Amino acid sequence: MNKWILMAGVALAAACAWGGEMSVQVREGQLRNRASFLGAVSGTVAYGDRVTVGQRQAGWFEVTGSPSGATGWLHESALTPKRIVTGSGVDDARIGASGEEVALAGKGFSKEVEAEYKKQNAKLDYVWVDRMLLFKIPEAQLVEFLQQGGLVQ
């Protein structure tokens, strides 16, 4: 079975079982006014934000972000049933929460480990990697690009 479909099923079951809450697992999630990336952006949510999950449609969840209160549709690949613990909440993670329930932000293979690895591999150069990350095309321009190419309406 396709892993993402399975994960979506697990995520959906988990969301329902755990009071309809999930966490944002990408750096920034764009909320849209319909269940499609062609929909207009209605708000944003950040890594680790908790969202209340409503209806699901074709791989998208209707969510309300916390603490922002922003509402919109977010693709399921941006969500995890795990609670993502950052800085101040680490004690909660230590008390009784297993790795299956909690993800620790900034831990594991992280910026800190990358820096240590770089020290051991002096020839590695991240200049172009960092430049690549700036090649972000704004969502509206992507939609325009597709439309100009006669790809989507």
Residues 3-62 that bind other proteins (CB under 8 A): 3-6, 9-14, 16-18, 25-27, 29, 37, 47, 59
Q: Are 31 and 65 in contact (CB under 8 A)?
A: yes
Among residues 33, 66, 108, 140, which is the contact residue for other proteins, using CB under 8 A? Answer: 108
Among residues 2, 67, 69, 122, which is the contact residue for other proteins, using CB under 8 A? Answer: 2
Among residues 21, 99, 122, 140, which is the contact residue for other proteins, using CB under 8 A? Answer: 99
| 148 lines the binding site for other proteins (CB under 8 A) | yes
What is the rounded distance in angstroms from the CA atom of residue 59 to the CA atom of residue 4? 9
Which of 112, 110, 60, 50 is CA-nearest to residue 81?
A: 50
Nearer to other proteins, 67 or 120 (CB): 120
What is the rounded distance in angstroms from the CA atom of residue 84 to the CA atom of residue 90? 10
